[in-house]
A = this chain, B = another copy of it.
Amino acid sequence: MNIQGKHYRTIWLHPENEQVVQIIDQRLLPHRFVIVDLKTLEDFETAIRDMYVRGAPLIGSAAAYGMYMAALQFSASQPVALPNFKEKMQEAAARLKATRPTAVNLAYAVDRILSEMVVRENIAEQTQIALQTAHDITEESVNHCHAIGQHGLKLLEDIYQKKLQQSSQSAVRNHQSSIINILTHCNAGWLACIDHGTATAPIYAAHDAGIPIHVWVDETRPRNQGASLTAFELAEHGVPHTVIADNTGGHLMQHGMVDLVIVGTDRTTHMGDVANKIGTYLKALAAVDNGVPFYVGVPSSSIDWSLRNGMTEIPIEERDAGEVHYISGLDENGEVRGVRLTPAASPAANFAFDVTPARLVTGLITERGVCSASEDGLLSLFVEQKTFDY
């Protein structure tokens, strides 16, 4: 998608140097737009753990390029024997997987690279296939997000037609009453992916198709990915939106001000339980209580076919309490500055994700179409998973 009218992805190989990967440092958005070079495995670990890059699909792609960078690093540093190289790559895989525990895309990408490497005969070929697979994972992610956008667009077209009908039947007919109000939580936008986004893909597709959209953007404390990233990318693309405190969505739904909720996911189980940014579950409860459809944009790379019960089986990352104590923003001199919010004597806790049980989810929007949040629903689209042993 565009920033200041120029098209960007969130991660790319340096155009003139195949030994450098470039990313947007998302910690500084929306206040600063800074591109960072990643050159070592350590750079990738830091970028993922400290959230220069974040969002399940982007984490997957970053981890894939991290594996390529590790391969380059290990093969270049000294003459190395293949068994030793393989051992080092296993270590690199473990280190990358340890950076963020909840998103399944990370483990998926790392394991896929390893399985491609293991069948190649020498270090050069293994390094080459690591790069190729990282590219493949990245392109697939873009294609999946685009397809999610197209499937979601149909949902939004239906809602729009219904709103137009209602509007034409009502005495007061105006443009305002046919606008589709969508609430989203966190950033499952193109900045969380490579391009298009998951939750935002239908939004961009509908906006580009001329359907009037307005997005309620949950701020998404403690890291404010909504206020910082979703608001930024919607503004850059010209999609009307309003930032709200995370506390607000229930009130809006009670008063008919939300037509549907669309969120992303870091890991969705075989049965349709959805792990996503902390607070998603609260919005799903409010959606059900007010008859508002609650959809999840789910690329298949975020489905964990090995898990059934999201509540008990998905690991929930606990991050540093400092993310609750401190927040950063732009001060009156235009500097990005952190301030402390809490009393010095008060501890804080920082659970990064929660699990929305499948029973609260209206549907999953995957790259293959929309299905119910259930084993039957998912298997109807991903028939090849019926052979999976569970």
Interface of A with B (CB < 8 Å)? 30-31, 217, 219-222, 224, 227-228, 231-232, 234-235, 241-252, 254, 277-279, 281-283, 285-286, 289, 311, 316, 324-332, 337-351, 353-355
Contact = CB atoms under 8 A, between A and B. Distances in A.
Nearest to A336: B339
A348 B286 contact: no
A249 B235 CA distance: 30
Main secondary structure of the interface of A (DSSP, over half): mixed
A356 to B, nearest CB: 9
A340 B346 contact: no
B286 A342 contact: no
A337 to B, nearest CB: 6
A206 B30 CA distance: 45
A248 B277 CA distance: 10
A251 B324 contact: no
A19 to B, nearest CB: 34
Contacts of A228: 341-343
B217 A346 contact: yes
Contacts of A279: 245-248, 250
B282 A250 contact: yes
Contacts of A331: 331, 337-339
Contacts of A217: 346
A137 B86 CA distance: 77
| Copies of this protein chain in the complex | 2
Contacts of A349: 242-244, 248
B243 A342 contact: yes
Contacts of A344: 30
A246 to B, nearest CB: 5
Nearest to A334: B340
A354 B250 contact: yes
A351 B224 contact: no
A341 B224 contact: yes
A219 B221 contact: yes
16 contacts: A30-B346, A222-B245, A227-B342, A228-B343, A235-B346, A241-B347, A242-B347, A243-B324, A245-B279, A245-B350, A248-B349, A248-B354, A249-B282, A282-B282, A285-B289, A331-B331
B278 A251 contact: yes
A254 B311 contact: yes
A260 to B, nearest CB: 18
Given A227-B324, A248-B351, A331-B339, 12 more contacts: A227-B342, A228-B343, A232-B346, A235-B346, A241-B346, A242-B346, A250-B282, A250-B354, A251-B278, A282-B283, A330-B340, A339-B339
